[in-house]
Structure 1
């Protein structure tokens, strides 16, 4: 619940900036470039964005495709063609196939097509994960009590921060602002803001519900019983003897949809971030997301674990999130926005979010560096 409120606030500010400046196709990257005129500050921000979003998303893309592959394997099992390809090439064929599908969707370059794919995958993921939660029958009273009176188990701080870091990520702000700038190019500003807000108030709470469904399913089926898992694919396979075949296929389908949807957004967000900051042309934009995609396919198909790169990206994201939040607050209070500037209530919420990002980032950096 807290993650959903936090995510709505930050994404709402990003969407406002992209929507109101839509006639200039101005996303978050463009706004940051306009705000920071000092060469040193601009260079530092650019390096931070490249480290956190471009390099980070390249590493995360491998995880996205690996997660989707685990879901596919749990659904279709060890088919003859997969075993043959793996034996001869020593590569993960599902990562190659799913990476190629994601690249083909992005290659079309049509916003409406990409949006339809993402909506379909998110709906499929939601149905699968929420149905899995209902099948496993978690302790509803304990869950509700935890929502309103949260408790942090001993030694779980890093896990909680990881959940926050994977739910509220800086790259999603770049993606949302750029998408808003393109979706509402010709719409009246007031109508565009209303539609953008409605989108957020549906999508982000749904994301929080999906996170709740995954965590509660794992807690009910395994961790509450003292069992351990080495990856998410084992979660799907191990549900079958406990709750039947339908639970296995639902969880696997959710993993497949989640991985494939993230495999679309991670390269796209990296390209949008660089395009906004460096004013990339369409060919350079396509080359950016294609490079992130290829790195992800390589990492996943070879079974690599770029832990050093992921650690570095986590540190950079820890620094970047409060910086981006502060820049968003400045952007949505600019005089150029006129009557669409933030009001006092929105600014109070915004500075509360900024304080939370500073606390989370400080804790993340402390844990990462120690």
Structure 2
């Protein structure tokens, strides 16, 4: 146990990345609109995330390279290589710039749930300033410990909120393991999966583990870290759904509204716990999204510089500025977050396919390549994401 605590880090950062405002928003809407019935989507998401992130961890530790760099090296066709690089950069770097406004706005909504909403305009600048300082320090250890603290604070806040609502555990277990598809729930299901199994986290995780671990023998610590952190993150997401299930209000649009809805029923404690949880969720994602984009750019372009290099900093500073700017303009973040999460569900199969392909190459992984059982499980996960992604496209264009 002491060794695990000593090695905890990258997995917690991945949990910090996927439990952002998008997760809080979609889990809130899932609970309000469908009760416990969509908890199975979170169970599926946790399994899928563990499987995919474990493969990304193996790539990072065994090769000591970023995932994008490894993929790029394995493609012999110059045209295809350039296409893949553009696709990755567009999906991760440009995509994270769009996410950042939602992350910062989500953290601001968390503060607004506790304090005076009239000062909302200043909150994005405050959030952006905190993220800037932690990223600019350029010390992985400081960044890691700061995010772990915020993740623990967030986890405690949301889990306590769920307990306060005195949930029905029989219905919870039924919802977790028996799939159901209530009317008009498909986009919410796709969103719940997309907000947990995040494509950019695969690139971020592969880069983070090589910052922390250098030896192949360390792989066992990385796997434990991944398993425990992601399961904890899944429980946090489920806690939000459970808390939202306890109220019936059509005006609920986000976590801040959920805080207001719980206050008359369970007292001001619920509001404060949810507000703190939303703030922690927003600010951790506001830090990890620019960080992931910088790591992807570094991997795609083959930069060998450290976290303090000018090129690395330019990427995350650009994304942070975009996020603060759009958040300060008070563009409604809820629809942006929902759209981004559904897009994530569509992009996921493409990234997952590249990952599975790389992890099966003996020239890259050697004895650590995927086993037959791992390929069967990852193949099923890939198929599920393909089906859900296809259905989401039909749904968006009103063909389903």
Query: What TM-score does the superposition give when structure 1 sets the normalisation length?
Result: 0.89
- C-alpha separation in 1, matches of 2:148 and 2:335: 33
Contact 1:171 1:269 in 2 (8 A): yes
Is the 2:105–2:333 Cα contact (8 Å) retained in structure 1?
A: no
The within-5 A match list for 1:178-197 is 178-185=207-214, 188-190=215-217, 192-197=218-223
Inter-partner Cα distance in structure 1 for 2:69 and 2:287: 22
The equivalent of 2:386 in structure 1 is 358
CA offsets 1:143-185 (integer angstroms, 9 cap, x no match): 1111121212100110111111111110011110100111102
Q: Give 1:115's match in structure 2, choosing from 128, 144, 163.
A: 144
Counterpart pick for 1:4 among 46, 56, 66? 46
Residue 276 of structure 2 is aligned to residue 247 of structure 1 = no
User: What is the SS of the residue equivalent to 2:246?
Assistant: helix
User: Does the 8 Å CA contact 2:161/2:239 hold for their aligned counterparts?
Assistant: yes
Query: What does residue 32 of structure 1 align with?
Result: 71
Query: For 1:70-89, what aligned pairs fall within 5 Å after superposition?
Result: 70-78=109-117, 83=118
**Which of 361, 377, 380 is the equivalent residue of 1:349?**
377
Give, in whole Å, the separation in 2 of the partners of 1:253 and 1:16: 34
Question: For the residues of structure 2 that align with 1:253 and 1:318, how far apart are their CA atoms?
Answer: 28
**122-131 or 304-313, which moves further after superposition?**
304-313
Is the contact made by 1:27 and 1:177 (CA closer than 8 Å) also made in structure 2?
yes
Contact 1:56 1:309 in 2 (8 A): no
Q: How many Å separate the matches in 1 of 2:316 and 2:200?
A: 13
* Matching residue of 2:321: 294
The C-alpha deviation readout for 1:195-225, integer Å capped at 9, x for no partner, is: 111011111111111111111111112xxx3
- TM-aligned CA distance change 1:312 to 1:285, over 3 Å: farther
Whole-angstrom CA distance in 2 between matches of 1:126 and 1:312: 25
Change (3 A) 1:163 1:314: closer
State the Cα distance separating 1:39 from its structure 2 match.
2.2
Distance 1:347 1:283 in 2: 40
Once the two structures are superposed, the pairs formed by residues 310-321 of structure 1 within 5 Å of their partners are 317-321=344-348
Counterpart check, 1:211 vs 2:240: no
For residues 69 and 77 of structure 2, the distance between their equivalents in structure 1, rounded to whole angstroms, comes to 15
Aligned partner (choices 78, 97, 106) of residue 135 of structure 2: 106
Check the 8 A contact 1:318/1:362 in 2, yes or no. no
- 1:215-237: CA deviations, max 9, x gaps? 1111112xxx3543133212112
In structure 1, C-alpha distance between the alignment counterparts of 2:292 and 2:205, rounded to whole Å:
9
Q: Deviation of residue 30 (structure 1)?
A: 1.0
Q: Is the 8 A contact 2:59 2:67 kept in 1?
A: yes
Please tell me whether the aligned partners of residues 52 and 316 of structure 1 are also in contact (alpha carbons under 8 angstroms).
Answer: no
Give the secondary structure class of the aligned counterpart of 2:157.
Answer: helix
**Which residue of the other structure, out of 276, 283, 287, is the alignment partner of 1:264?**
287
Q: 1:318 to 1:251 in 2, by over 3 A?
A: closer
Q: What is the match of residue 148 of structure 1?
A: 177
How far has the Cα of 1:315 moved from its partner?
7.3
**Structure 2 unpaired stretches of 5+:** 1-42
**Aligned residue for 1:322?**
349
Deviations 1:113-172 (A, max 9, x none): 111111111111100000000001122211111112121210011011111111111001
Give 1:355 deviation, angstroms. Answer: 1.3
- What pairs up with 1:23-62 in 2 under 5 angstroms? 26-62=65-101
Q: Do the aligned partners of residues 138 and 311 (structure 1) sit closer, same or farther apart at CA in structure 2, a change above 3 Å counting?
A: closer
For 1:226 and 1:244, locate their aligned partners in 2 and report how far apart those are by CA, in whole Å.
17
Alpha-carbon separation, structure 1, partners of 2:224 and 2:204:
17
Structure 1 residue 47: Cα displacement: 2.5
Alignment of 1:233 with 2:275, yes or no, is no
